[in-house]
Structure 1
Amino acid sequence: MSDYKAFRVETQDKIAHVTINRAEKVNAMNADFWTEIIDIFRWIDETDDIRVVIVSGAGKHFSSGIDLAMLASVGSELGNDVGRNAQVLRRKILQLQASFNAVDQCSKPVLAAIQGYCLGGAIDLISACDMRYSTTDAQFSIKEIDMGMAADVGTLQRLPRIIGDGMMRELAFTGRSIDGEEARQLGLVNRTYADQQALLDGVFAIAREIAAKSPVAIRGTKEMIRYMRDHRVDDGLEYIATWNAAMLQSADLRVAMAAQMTKQKADFAD
């Protein structure tokens, strides 16, 4: 692994722990963040002995969202021509979207562990993760509305499928903050924990449980769930039939069945 400026990446028990590592800046998402996250998730996808990913934030907060200094630097690229300015801004927005698309499209399950602030762009990030967990006192807010803009990096596209359309609209239109307990009630997070250490212990326990499963089966399950966001039921049934025509020939199926019959722990190849 390379050294990163905005992240710390560690591996243990077939889990990649990706930590936003700018605690002194409330883990604001600077230019390094947006480029490095693509490299990190490409590496994770290509590394067979990584089976699960945990995304967290160093220090007291998960992330305060996009770094305002970065927004200012984008503004400095604009000139007097509206058409050319629009092209510059559109290109930049698509670049930022690609960063969280890399998270969404990762073939391994991605779990977010959230404490403190989870604001603006941080909501875009956790919306691209498979599951979300938080401390009870975490603070979530779609802050873009208070900056005079519409969220444009994935929140408005992914969040309705997580918490439902009506609540997403309320949070997006008002920008109001919700705590971890309300987030759990809405389905934004699966579970809450009393403090940051309990959060990490709990999320790592879930990640280790997932990592012990067949990586072929986990990848197929994630791919089918992701595919069904944008397709009809009959499309999904056709796809899983084609997918499993190959994947059911994997040795993992025999290993899993033998483990079930002997009541022993299965040991799957990467």
Structure 2
Amino acid sequence: MAGPAFSRAWRAFAVEADTAPGVALVRLTGPGRGNMMGLAFWAELPELFVALDADETVRAVVLSGQGSHFSTGLDVQEVLGGWLERMGAGTCAQAAARTELLGTIKSLQSAITAVASCRKPVIAAVSGWCIGGGVDLIAAADVRLASVEAKFSLREARLAIVADVGSLQRLRGIIGEGQLRELALTAKDITATRAEKIGLVNDVYADPDALLVAALDMAAQMAANSPLAVAGTKAVLNHGREEEIARGLDFVALWNTSFLHSEDLLEAVQALREHRPGVFSGS
């Protein structure tokens, strides 16, 4: 394959042409620990999936993490650090700061939506940790698979944040209302076995190698079908659903623009730095 997704050097991704015709393997590569989602990730993700969408040699995509983990989630310090610094304790978030935050949230949302909007089917292959933004990302994929040691966490409430990049909107149609509320409101970690039981992943494999083989095989089956029919099937499945998701994304962006700046958020950031649980006051 020699399309734009393969000819460019990406900072946060490695893009490989698998031996199966029409299958692209995309690995998250960091550069943060555990493939943490920093500025390079958010800038490149929509560009990469636009390139994959436009590449006629690509008929299916497998999305995985490099190394031991899929992703440990948003790099809060790199993406929001400057805003958090200006909005320290005792300050009042004025209109300019809120507008800046709204733009940041919308940009992150658009990056994840680029995955959901890609006409090519996307299979997420999850090993190790998949936390926060990692769950947002796999929720935008068409199919999710995992290896047995994988763990998942919608951890935002533990960090005094309302998840705002798509998991609350997309997971409702994947795991159902009750399971989503449990995961989002407890912010607990779940195993791959539990993830399979609730429908977050379709299948669980013995190890990361077996997982990747299965994901690539499934992608090859998709790539062997009529690309027009596959794209049409995905468009029909997305019809109506994506409009509802977009409304939900608008609402949570406005909510966090209004309420994200809090003493609880500053406490959560400090607790992360000190490697301790946050102690929240609701203020």
Q: Percent of counterpart pairs with the same letter?
A: 38
Aligned residue runs from structure 1 range 14-93, under 5 A: 14-22=22-30, 25-70=33-78, 71-76=80-85, 81-93=93-105
Cα distance in 2, alignment partners of residues 222 and 75 from structure 1: 39
- Residues 68-126 of structure 1 show CA distances to partners (whole Å, capped at 9, x for unaligned) of 32221332465855222111110100000010010010000000000000001101000
- Residue 225 of structure 1 is matched in structure 2 by 237
Cα distance in 1, alignment partners of residues 171 and 37 from structure 2: 20
- Residue 216 of structure 2 is matched in structure 1 by 204
Structure 1 stretches of 4+ with a deviation exceeding 6 A read none
- Residue 105 of structure 1 is matched in structure 2 by 117
CA deviation after TM superposition for structure 1 residue 152, in Å: 0.3
The answer on whether the counterparts of 2:11 and 2:31 sit within 8 Å (CA) in structure 1 is no
Cα distance in 2, alignment partners of residues 179 and 39 from structure 1: 32
Provide TM-score, normalisation by structure 2.
Answer: 0.79
Cα distance in 2, alignment partners of residues 31 and 223 from structure 1: 30
| Secondary structure in 1 matching 2:113 | helix
- Residue 272 of structure 2 is matched in structure 1 by none
Cα distance in 1, alignment partners of residues 157 and 107 from structure 2: 21
Structure 2: runs of 5+ lacking an equivalent: 1-6, 245-283
| Secondary structure in 2 matching 1:200 | helix
Amino acid at match of 2:198: L
Cα distance in 2, alignment partners of residues 73 and 122 from structure 1: 22
- Residue 11 of structure 1 is matched in structure 2 by 17
CA deviation after TM superposition for structure 1 residue 136, in Å: 1.5
Distance 1:44 1:88, change over 3 A: same
Distance 1:105 1:73, change over 3 A: same
> Match for 2:202 among 179, 190, 203?
190
> Match for 1:173 among 185, 192, 197?
185
Cα distance in 2, alignment partners of residues 98 and 161 from structure 1: 19
- Residue 270 of structure 2 is matched in structure 1 by none
| Secondary structure in 1 matching 2:62 | strand
Cα distance in 1, alignment partners of residues 34 and 240 from structure 2: 35
Structure 1: runs of 5+ lacking an equivalent: 233-270
The answer on whether the counterparts of 2:32 and 2:38 sit within 8 Å (CA) in structure 1 is no
CA deviation after TM superposition for structure 1 residue 218, in Å: 0.3
CA deviation after TM superposition for structure 1 residue 22, in Å: 2.3
Cα distance in 2, alignment partners of residues 181 and 51 from structure 1: 30
Cα distance in 2, alignment partners of residues 110 and 77 from structure 1: 38
CA deviation after TM superposition for structure 1 residue 16, in Å: 1.2
Distance 1:194 1:231, change over 3 A: same
- Residues 186-221 of structure 1 show CA distances to partners (whole Å, capped at 9, x for unaligned) of 000010001000000011011111110000110000
The structure that has the greater radius of gyration is: 1
Provide TM-score, normalisation by structure 1.
Answer: 0.82
The answer on whether the counterparts of 1:23 and 1:59 sit within 8 Å (CA) in structure 2 is no
**Cα RMSD over matched residues?**
1.7
- Residue 236 of structure 1 is matched in structure 2 by none
Distance 1:116 1:23, change over 3 A: farther
Cα distance in 1, alignment partners of residues 243 and 13 from structure 2: 35
- Residue 268 of structure 1 is matched in structure 2 by none
Aligned residues between the structures: 232
Cα distance in 2, alignment partners of residues 66 and 179 from structure 1: 20
Distance 1:108 1:230, change over 3 A: closer
